[in-house]
Amino acid sequence: MRVDIISIFPEYFAPLDVSLMGKARERGILDIHLHQLRDWTHDVHKTVDDTPYGGGPGMVMKPEVWGEAVDAVIEQGRACGQDALPRLIVPTPSGRPFTQAVALEYAEEPWLLFAPARYEGIDSRVVAEYGERLRADEVSIGDYVLAGGEAAVLVMIEAVGRLLPGVLGNARSVADDSFAPGPMANLLEGPVYTKPPVWRGHEVPEVLLSGHHGKIARWRRDQALRRTLAMRPELVARLDRDELDKHDLRVIEEFEEQRREGTSRQTP
């Protein structure tokens, strides 16, 4: 996958040299190209922003510089053999939520172009312009406001990058993710343990030492359900009732009873 990032802080992306993403780049699975937005300015101060029309606080990023930058980066990618246009991703707190489903969708793309903004955002005509020519998404990574879109780009690249074939050693770890499609879809992952079997008096749940795969799978599902009920009850409300078996319904009922009595706990 080719990834281009245009930013006034290309140095912000140094973490992409590290760990899993660094290895994916070394192996040529992720082909990341960083660009300094100011390279497309024409004044001595390399100005990228201006005051907002209509007044108000802060500054807005100028459309001309973004237009020239995006056009040039598309041209570069095409010259390197990309035969389709990139998916343009503009991080903004007012975008559509970035979820595991969106990460899976982006992981299918051959080419992503990220345009992280600083200040109060990019002049809205930029997304309008490119939305007419290619697929342009305004995306939010959560209901909070960052100082700029760069951290959001790092989050999205890591979420997408680990889904690319050959990036994770064990293909099952993607299938078992919280939010991954499948029997555990929309359930948070439950607790995990490793050796020693007793640490500071805390014991590993016995069932995990039993070697009984059926019982372990059932226990894990119960724990996932209990954790989701405790942390994200709205996800449980959204579960497809037809996919819940009798045992699940009993776990939900028990949890709700314990909550009413004020005794609900994460792990037995």
- Cβ 136 to ligand ADE shortest distance, Å: 15
DSSP class of residue 241 equals G
User: Considering 38, 162, 218, 232, which one is annotated as catalytic?
Assistant: 162
Q: Which is nearer to ligand ADE, 61 or 141 (CB)?
A: 141
Is 116 known to be catalytic?
no
Counting contacts by CB under 6 A, is residue 161 touching ligand ADE?
A: no
User: Considering 91, 177, 222, 227, which one is annotated as catalytic?
Assistant: 177
Q: Which is nearer to ligand ADE, 74 or 156 (CB)?
A: 156
Torsion of CA 65, 68, 71, 76, to 10 degrees: -100
Site string for ligand ADE, 92-111 (x = CB under 6 A): xx------------------
Counting contacts by CB under 6 A, is residue 146 touching ligand ADE?
A: yes
User: Considering 10, 52, 63, 93, which one is annotated as catalytic?
Assistant: 93
Is 120 known to be catalytic?
yes
Q: Which of 95, 112, 117 is nearest to 160 (CA)?
A: 112
Is 268 known to be catalytic?
no
Distance CA 183, CA 160 (A): 22
Q: Which of 34, 32, 33, 26 is nearest to 166 (CA)?
A: 26
In Å, what is the CA distance from 257 to each residue of 172, 239, 240, 243, 265?
35, 20, 22, 22, 12
Site string for ligand ADE, 211-240 (x = CB under 6 A): ------------------------------
Residue 264's contacts (CB-CB under 8 Å, 6 or more residues apart) are 229, 230, 255, 258
Counting contacts by CB under 6 A, is residue 186 touching ligand ADE?
A: no
Helix (H, G, I), strand (E, B) or coil at 132: coil
Which of residues 113, 141, 154, 184 is near ligand ADE by CB under 6 A? 141
Counting contacts by CB under 6 A, is residue 140 touching ligand ADE?
A: yes
Distance CA 173, CA 10 (A): 31
Q: Which of 93, 132, 92 is nearest to 116 (CA)?
A: 92
Instruction: Please name the amino acid found at residue 35.
Output: H
Torsion angles phi and psi, residue 212, rounded to 5 = -90, 100
Q: Which is nearer to ligand ADE, 116 or 161 (CB)?
A: 116
Counting contacts by CB under 6 A, is residue 167 touching ligand ADE?
A: no
Is 93 known to be catalytic?
yes
Give me the residue whose beta carbon is nearest to ligand ADE: 91
- Cβ 121 to ligand ADE shortest distance, Å: 8
Counting contacts by CB under 6 A, is residue 149 touching ligand ADE?
A: yes
Residues classed as catalytic: 93, 120, 162, 177
